[in-house]
Amino acid sequence: MTLHTILPLEVVLQGFHQQNEHKPTIELHSGDMKLELEPVYPGIGKIVRIIECPLHHYLKPELSPGMLYTYGPQLKG
């Protein structure tokens, strides 16, 4: 891969050799979507990324990375 940039090499590679602590994630199939979620609370996860879905779902702000997503059995009141 070739990267053309005006930034100094130190800035581009900053943090490259540091170990990143990744939080555990889960893959969730919900209808016609496949999401990667970071569990926050039982039945609630923070969206890390959309793995697979119809194109129009990418335009929905509620499916943006960082948004909370409810999954699992829903409580009926």
User: What is the C-alpha separation between 68 and 74, in angstroms, rounded?
Assistant: 15
Give the pLDDT of the chain (77 residues) as one tens digit per residue.
Answer: 787 889 998 888 887 777 666 779 999 998 999 999 999 999 999 999 999 999 999 999 999 999 999 987 655 54
Burial of 8 (0-12, 13-18, 19+ CB in 10 A): exposed
Closest CA to 35 of 10, 12, 16, 62: 62
> What pTM did the predictor assign?
0.66
User: What is the C-alpha separation between 53 and 36, in angstroms, rounded?
Assistant: 12
68, 40 Cβ separation under 8 angstroms: yes
